[in-house]
Amino acid sequence: MFTVSPSNHFHLQQHFESSGRLFFSISGAGSKFRVRKARVSRCGSLVGGNGSSRRVISSQKKTVETAASPSEKRGGNESRISSYSSSSSGGIDVRATIKIRKKMKEKLTEKIEDQWEYFVNGIGQGISICLISEEIDPETNSGKRIESCVRGWLPKPHNGVHAMEYAANFTVPRDFGSPGAVLITNLHGKEFYLLEVIIHGFDDGPIFFPANTWIHSRKDNPDSRIIFKNHAYLPSQTPAGLVDLRSKDLSSIRGNGKGERKPYDRIYDYDVYNDLGNPDKSKDLARPVMGVEDRPYPRRCRTGRPPTVSDPLTESRIEKPHPVYVPRDETFEEIKQNTFSAGRLKALVHNLVPSIAATLSKSDIPFKCFSDIDKLYIDGVVLNDENHQEYSQNFFLGNIMKQVVNAGQTLLKYEIPAVIKSDRFSWLRDHEFARQTLAGVNPVNIECLKEFPIRSKLDPNVYGSPESAITKEVIEKELYNGMSVEQAIEENRLFILDYHDIILPFIKKINALPGRKVYASRTVFLHSQTGTLTPIAIELSLPPTPSSKTNKHVYTHGHDATTYWIWKLAKAHVCSVDAGIHQLVNHWLRTHASMEPYIIATHRQLSSMHPIYKLLHPHMRYTLEINALARQNLINGGGIIEASFLGGKYSMELSSAAYKNLWQFDMEALPADLIRRGMAVEDPSMPSGVRLVIEDYPYAADGLLIWSAIKEWVESYVEHFYSEPNSITGDAELQAWWSEIKNKGHPEKRNEPWWPNLNNKEDLSGVLTTMIWVASGQHAAINFGQYPFGSYVPNRPTLMRKLIPREGDRDYENFIANPQITFLSSLPTKLQATKVMAVQDTLSTHSPDEEYLGQVNQLHRHWIDDRRVLELFNKFSSKLEEIEEIIKCRNKDNRLKNRSGAGVPPYELLLPTSGPGVTGRGIPNSISI
């Protein structure tokens, strides 16, 4: 039963007219009508005789019949064979089941629109479907094809999933062959999300066409969408009937590189990072382009927006809440969107409170005592009535505040971070400071010290003496049993966290910014015989001045109060540099930004039926969307990163310098990175091919388990598809893919000698393992610990606002009188800290629809029809389950001091699975947050 209101009557009639064909109109406001089936075919659609379609619609006592001729073209109710014919009596009855995803939460207007769509689909006027055979039609020299329309009537949800099913009937000639693709044409006025198409009736059982894609409206793009079945074909193995479609589909994805992209587009192309600044808004928001010879950078996805008025080289910005273009299928699904939106709202509320406090005080307020920090987790922040009244005059702020205040007046309250949850004072200890270099959120920069004296590679004419001020005497005072520096190096006892060369060129510019003070730091650690790591010397450097060719200061932990506090300040400065490098280099550059060209090239050069596309597809989910949001809100001029991390407006320039001087693809492989840093040595007897120098190195020990499992899975997968000699060099799509990654994705580095070749199975397996590791294990290890480790400001300040006071300085006496105030006033302000905490909370959150390594989403269960591949994947999944148990056992091993002990949080960042929320564990398939 369907009730039509007066407004609905007008809407229905107008929709039919706009479709170009007026079938009927319904008169009588509020009249009720019922659809009766003339005859039901065995697949459930409504058909008349000889392929015509007939509907009987009764409205009270009136009956209206509509018929559609099978000779009508696309958009009609036909079941026809294009360029290929056979008598229906000699054909095969085939049914196509089409599954369309619906929204979980709908507004009333959307529900009404859905009812209309069901109706249009039901009468065969909403979706056209064409089967394409793998066999050639000799008359057209392309795949045989047969077309029909989707039919059905108000279908029921499928198995409780938010999806609707429709059917289309075909009578297929017996010599049609096996269908290898379907063409979907959306005749509606808006897009819909196609989950999959299943073809029933052929001898070899149901044939699956996994889609998981948005189907654009024909009014936006007249081309039909091509969906291939779930069989993987190398280019040379493509069935003859699909060759032209394979080429056409890739061509449509690449676009022509011109024009501004529309929201419904599914086009992947490259561009430089020229959308971070906003010079039209303010000169202070102008930012240089990243992706030029002197500021190289990996490429991002092109949007084609016009340039700004102020600068023709800068792309105009789209500010929140308006979305930045990404290819349509890259956008967040509904569950993810709701989770991220909630996080954004939470961040807004969290930022609002300190903003109001800062406005009322006319300054940005520092923490005055440690209890101020504790209150963020214990009491929250309450806005008093006076403040509420003042800011309620602003409509936008007032609405938000009213909602929150009415909910209990607590505007801000954070969970206690894991790093202090069991031991509030752990952050004060040297052991914890050192432990986090191996088991914290940034465990990828510590190196084994191999040469002494420590020397810089920077130009001495610009940056002064290259030799470190950390001398043998300084180190040997901290060694035991009369050990020499040479002996300690020989026995792999000395380690270093060296940020000198990457930071020093930026110090003058950064320190000229208000509220920013940074040093180029070096920290030397001793690995004791008990297996623990201890910092023994910190060097903090500033650029040379005309009066002093060296401006380096060395600090060691002492036993008097003054030295103790200065040592604590020195460690805080090291942590702030470490936090900046972590966010801008290791997190953003080495995972988010470096993955984007791989994803773009995969879509542009590898057909969706290519086995390597199918392998990589789960590891590309959501990455372009989260990167676009980062360019809009996080790494943009004036964004969160600039406001709250050490680099300020020079943050992305610093990231570009790291890309130029440090990034190379072959070193992104975990074993290669560990060997380069001296944290491991080659050992063919080990499963991963390397042996750790420090056994109790949780990130590396657990990471190598994950790396080895990925490597085994990838190697077996590649072996399965590339068993023939020269099959890799002869794969045109694969070679074009690798060439494009180098030449278009990383053009400033395209001629570097370290790019791997792509000549054999070993080359390909190595490249793919690295990509999958970066997208999964590497990102998980350095992302999901951000809130657990970084949200307690003294443990990991993201910037420092003061240099360390020295004797003779104006602030030195104040420091002696009250060192705690000096320490706290050097940390980020309340506003900066709460911004960072809000962002870290959001970035550390798993969405309820997260897809974890070794798992397949239920909606993607038909991703491939190859039984051997599914067996290999199940083996990979089982291996990850074993690894999870191994890691849990390691966390209970009291010999491993970096992951167990009194108050020590277990190392769980590389546990493969997790529930939703901020859990500090779990490895998603892709960079999805």
Bridge partners for 496 per DSSP = 447, 524
The confidence score (pLDDT) of residue 311 equals 96
Mean pLDDT over 777-787 rounds to 97
**What are the tens digits of pLDDT across the range 815-852?**
999 999 999 999 999 878 888 888 898 899 998 889 99
pLDDT class for 84, splitting at 50, 70, 90? very low
Query: What is the percent of the chain with per-residue pLDDT over 90, rounded to a whole number?
Result: 69
Residue 890 pLDDT greater than 80, yes or no: yes
**Bond before 453 cis per omega within 30 degrees:** yes
Residue scoring higher pLDDT (52 or 106): 106
pLDDT at site 859: 75
The angle, 0 to 180 degrees and rounded to 10, between the axes of the packed helices 698-721 and 430-439 is 0
Alpha carbon distance 594, 589 (integer Å): 6
How many beta carbons lie within 10 A of that of residue 800, not counting itself? 23
Secondary structure percentages of the chain, helix, strand, coil, to 5: 40, 15, 40
- 278-304 mean pLDDT: 97
Check residue 380 and give its pLDDT. Answer: 59
Tell me if the bond preceding 155 is cis, omega within 30° of 0: no
Greatest mean pLDDT among 72-86, 101-115, 220-234, 308-322 lies in: 220-234
Residue 93 pairs in a beta bridge with 171
Give per-residue pLDDT as tens, 99-151. Answer: 998 876 667 777 777 777 777 877 788 999 999 999 999 999 999 999 999 88
Q: What's residue 67's pLDDT?
A: 31
Give the pLDDT of residue 284: 95
pLDDT digits (tens, 9 = 90+) for 802-817: 999 999 888 899 999 9
Q: What's the pLDDT score for residue 312?
A: 96
Task: Decide which of 588 and 123 is more confident.
Answer: 588
Using the predicted structure, report yes or no on whether residue 154 has a pLDDT greater than 50. no
Separation of alpha carbons 198 and 212, rounded Å: 13
Q: For residue 794, what pLDDT is reported?
A: 96
Report percent pLDDT > 70 for the chain.
82
Distance CA 372, CA 820 (A): 13
CA atoms within 13 A on the CB side of 446: 32
Token pair recorded at residue 697: 């190195």
Residue-level pLDDT at 155: 53
Asked if residue 697 has pLDDT above 70, the reply is: yes
Residue 674, pLDDT > 80, answer yes
What is the per-residue pLDDT across 2-11, written as a single tens digit (0 to 9) for each? 333 333 333 3
How far apart are alpha carbons 774 and 927 in whole angstroms?
Answer: 9
Q: Identify the pLDDT of residue 841.
A: 87
Asked if the model's pLDDT at residue 448 lies above 50, the reply is yes
Structure tokens at 810: 């104006």
Residue 897 pLDDT greater than 90, yes or no: yes
Q: What is the pLDDT of residue 86?
A: 40
pLDDT band at 414 (very low <50, low <70, confident <90, very high): confident
pLDDT at 619 over 50: yes
Q: For the ranges 44-48, 243-247, 584-588, 760-764, which has the lowest average pLDDT?
A: 44-48
- What is the sign, positive or negative, of the torsion defined by CA atoms of 480, 485, 489, 494? positive
Cβ proximity of 154 and 145 under 8 Å: no
Strands 552-555 and 533-541: antiparallel
Average pLDDT of the residues of the chain? 84
Domains and CATH numbers, the chain: 92-231 (2.60.60.20), 260-385+409-443+586-797+829-928 (1.20.245.10), 445-569 (3.10.450.60)
CA gap 719, 709 in Å, rounded: 16
Top-confidence residue, 83 or 649: 649
Q: Give the pLDDT confidence score for residue 342 in this predicted structure.
A: 52
pTM: predicted TM-score of the whole model, two decimal places: 0.87
* Tens digit of each residue's pLDDT (9 = 90 or more) over 374-402: 887 876 554 444 444 433 333 333 333 33
Contact 531, 522 (CB under 8 A): no
Show which residues are catalytic. Answer: 587, 592, 779, 783, 929
Of these ranges, 120-134, 543-557, 654-668, the one predicted with the greatest mean pLDDT is 654-668
Over 90: is that where the pLDDT of 372 sits?
no
d(C-alpha 770, C-alpha 668), whole Å: 7
Indicate the pLDDT class of residue 777, thresholds 50, 70 and 90.
Answer: very high
Q: Given a cut of 80, is residue 244 above it in pLDDT?
A: yes
Cα 148 to Cα 491: distance, rounded to the nearest angstrom = 75
pLDDT-based confidence at residue 530 (cuts at 50, 70, 90): confident
Helix (H, G, I), strand (E, B) or coil at 760: coil
